[in-house]
Every structure is written in structure tokens, then in C-alpha cells.
Amino acid sequence: MYQRQKERNINYRTPLQEWIDVLHVFENDIDEADKGDDALYLIKQYARLQLSSISQLRADYKMLLQKKCTPDLLRDEVILSILGKLQSKLHEPNTPENFPDDMDPLDYNTERLEKASRGCITRLVDGTIIERTYGHKIYVIHCRKGFYEYRGEYYNSLTEVARLITGTLCSGPAFFNRKSKIYVV
């Protein structure tokens, strides 16, 4: 009896597993290790969208895609369109044109690092240079085209770089928010 129950459970998929399968539609060429924060962000957004009313979905669609949502689109199609746009926005460089005129790029970066929360993607202004002293060494990270360059390699998030530097499971925004010098060139 236990064997039959075990065989039956192999095919069972939880809603979270099904959501992750849906999100694989949006995969790009980035290595699996580089997608951790992005995947968590998209899963949170998918859960939020699933719990939203159709009117809220249409408002999100209009705001993100800059066009009115046609009435013939099904709920799932609206959600997938929104997720597709969110996925494409993850790797857009954060240029000075993308934020308010009255905000300095340096202030923008500082605010982004201070307000970062777990699972959220922290994108700094393109051209940002972060210098962080850790263990009597100075580490320099460049923000280029929506990625973080460290030692000639590109990383998807500050957390990946911080974990590489420290060898611990630490938060990238928290690590670089402390004892760092930030420049925008």
C-alpha cells in the first residue's frame, strides 16, 4: 500500500511548483545560479497577480505595457503579459532618464540600498561604482547595463557579489550599504 501511495505522490504538483513551471517560460540565457533573486521576485509577482481582481490586472497591464488591455484577453493571458514585461524590465539598465528629475543619481542609489528588502531586485543607476572595504581589502563593483561587474565577471544581483566576497549567506544591499563609497560616473 505504501508503494502505491508513493507512486501516486510522484505526479502530484503543488501550486508553487506549477507557478515555477509557468515562470520557466520567461527564462533567458542567464545561468541558473544567477536567477535566484529574479525568480523569487517573479514568483512573488505571480502570487500577487493571481490574488488580484481583473480590474486591478487591467490597471497593472495598462501601467506596465503602456496600452489598454483588450477585453478579449483571458485572465491568464493578462497575467502572462504582465509577467513577461516584468521579466524584460529586470535587465533594463537604470539610467538617469528612468528616475525623477529632482533626484540625484547618488541619492537614488543610496535610497535603493537602504529600502531593499529580501527577494526584491535592487537595480542601481547604470555607471555606479561601489568601493567596499572588507577584510583589509578594497573591492570595486561596477554597475553596467543592469548587471554588476566584479573582477571581469557579470552578476545579476549585489547579493551574489557580496556572497562571493564574504563566503557567507549575506544580503548584498545590506553589505554594500555599510562602509561603502558610491560614485556615479
Q: Which tens digits make up the pLDDT trace of 37-84?
A: 677 778 888 888 998 889 889 888 888 888 899 889 999 999 999 988
Percentage of residues of the chain with pLDDT beyond 70? 70
Q: Are 41 and 120 in contact (CB under 8 A)?
A: yes
- Nearby residues of 54 by Cβ (< 8 Å), 6 or more positions away: 75, 78
Domain boundaries, the chain: 2-89, 96-184
Beta bridge partners of 128: 184
Cell of 158: 549585489
What tens digit of pLDDT does each residue of 127-173 get?
Answer: 889 999 998 999 999 988 878 899 999 888 888 899 999 999 888 88
> Is 91 strand, coil or helix?
coil
What tens digit of pLDDT does each residue of 32-43 get?
Answer: 333 456 777 788
Give pTM, 2 decimals: 0.51
Cell of 19: 507557478
Beta bridge partners of 132: 139, 180
Query: How high is the pLDDT of residue 31?
Result: 36
> Is 33 strand, coil or helix?
helix
